[in-house]
Amino acid sequence: MEREIEAYRLSGSMTPEVSNYYHYLRKRTIAICEGVQGKLKDYEKEVQQIDEMILSLQKPERYAERETELIRNFDKNCFALTNHLKIQEPKKLSVREFLGAMQELKELMKPQKRQLNGKSY
């Protein structure tokens, strides 16, 4: 088993962070196997500790800015639906209705080809 893990780990170039993940995954896999074989009595506790270490390696991401941007865009889209399609309460639409209305608005906003004496301008 260790040969398999090592072969996979060495098959590509890895950053130290990824190598660290593999180290803990290897320890976790070994703890589970030893627990199944009966060599490690309290393997569930060991696996839980390793899981906590793996999770601690991942830094939390900040979504506040993205969430604010999405809400702002949603409000702008609702305003456009109210103005152009005369939908009174676009925030109460289902997802399917909202997307359909947005598609209709998109079609409405496309520039129309105009012709004068048979020529487009």
Residue 44: CB partners within 8 Å, gap ≥ 6? 35
CB 9 within 8 A of CB 22: yes
67 — pLDDT class (breaks 50, 70, 90)? confident
pLDDT value of position 76: 94
pLDDT band at 99 (very low <50, low <70, confident <90, very high): very high
Distance in Å from the first CA to the final CA of the chain:
70
Local confidence band at 26 (pLDDT 50, 70, 90 cut-offs): confident
Q: How many domains does the chain have?
A: 2
In terms of domains, do 50 and 76 share one? no
Residues 52 and 85 in one domain: no
Same-domain check for residues 52 and 78: no
Q: What is the pLDDT of residue 10?
A: 58
Total-model pTM? 0.43
Question: Is 121 among the domain residues?
Answer: no
> Which residues constitute the domain of residue 77?
64-110
Shared domain for 42 and 74, answered yes or no, is no
By C-alpha distance, which of 104, 105, 102 is closest to 94?
A: 102
Residue 31 near residue 46, CB atoms below 8 Å: yes
